[in-house]
Amino acid sequence: MTKEFIKIGLVSISDRASSGVYEDLGLPTLKNWLDSALTTPYQMIARLIADEQDEIESTLIDLVDSEKCSLILTTGGTGPTLRDVTPEATLAVADKEMPGFGEQMRQISLNFVPTAILSRQVAVIRKQCLIINLPGQPKAIAQTLEGLKDEAGNTKVHGIFAAVPYCLDLIGAPYIETNEILVKAFRPKSAIK
187: CB partners within 8 A, 6+ apart: 165, 166, 169
Q: Given a cut of 60, is residue 2 above it in pLDDT?
A: no
This prediction has a pTM of: 0.96
Give residue-wise pLDDT tens across range 90-137.
Answer: 999 999 999 999 999 999 999 999 999 999 999 999 999 999 999 999
Domain at 6-191: CATH architecture? 3-Layer(aba) Sandwich (3.40)
Question: pLDDT class for 3, splitting at 50, 70, 90?
Answer: low
9: CB partners within 8 A, 6+ apart: 44, 45, 46, 47, 60, 63, 64, 67, 69, 71, 72, 73
Give residue-wise pLDDT tens across range 52-98.
Answer: 999 999 999 999 999 999 999 999 999 999 999 999 999 999 999 99
Using the 8-state DSSP alphabet, how is residue 66 labeled? Answer: I
Give residue-wise pLDDT tens across range 15-40.
Answer: 999 999 999 999 999 999 999 999 99
- Would you put residue 6 in left (φ > 0), alpha (ψ -120 to 50) or beta? beta
Residues in the chain: 193
Yes or no: say if 109 and 119 are a contact pair by the CB < 8 Å rule. Answer: yes
